[in-house]
Amino acid sequence: GSGGGIFLEDGLMTITNSNINNSIYNDGIMTITNNVNVNNVTDGNSAIDNDNRMTISNNVNVYNNTSGGIYNEGDTMTVSNTQIYNNNTNYEGAGIYNDGNVMTVSNTQIYNNTSDEEGAGIYNDGNSFRLIGPFLLTFVFDIIIISN
């Protein structure tokens, strides 16, 4: 199942200065920051799977994963100053698949991701661009997307 490398069911966790070669699952509040590589995940799950609140920032690299890079179906996810590349999947969203509420992506490079379906770089199926009621928005700015 999900979280073959790290599984957070509840609570708080911060991951820094690490190399992780198995999937990460979050149902708590997780921060992945400062020189973290999540790569070569081949266990059939996205490299990073968020079901609650997650921040990924500051020189995080998500690459060479065979079932996608980041899968978000949580409440809030922020991705900044990150590289997401060379991920592939048989489904949508090899780089990022968003099915969550609020997702913010900034100053991030997303490139060379491949998918058998739509949205090799980013696939958005979340509660995005909703401007009335609770503000559930997806922001995408200052991003380079190449060869997806």
Supply 88's token pair. Answer: 């592939």
What pLDDT is attached to residue 123?
A: 85
DSSP state, residue 2: -
What pLDDT is attached to residue 122?
A: 85
CB < 8 Å & 24+ apart, contacts of 93-96: 93/68, 93/119, 93/120, 93/122, 93/123, 94/68, 94/69, 94/119, 94/120, 94/121, 94/148, 95/68, 95/69, 95/70, 95/120, 95/121, 95/122, 95/148, 96/69, 96/70, 96/72, 96/121, 96/122, 96/123
What pLDDT is attached to residue 144?
A: 53
Q: Splitting the chain (148 residues) into consecutive groups of 10 residues, what average pLDDT does each group show?
A: 82 96 94 96 90 95 95 88 92 89 84 88 68 36 55
What pLDDT is attached to residue 94?
A: 92
What pLDDT is attached to residue 147?
A: 59
What pLDDT is attached to residue 39?
A: 96
Angle at CA 29, nearest 5°, toward 23 and 32?
55
Side-chain-facing half-sphere of 55: CA atoms under 13 Å: 10
What pLDDT is attached to residue 146?
A: 57
Of the candidates 8, 11, 21, the one whose C-alpha atom is nearest the C-alpha of residue 50 is 8
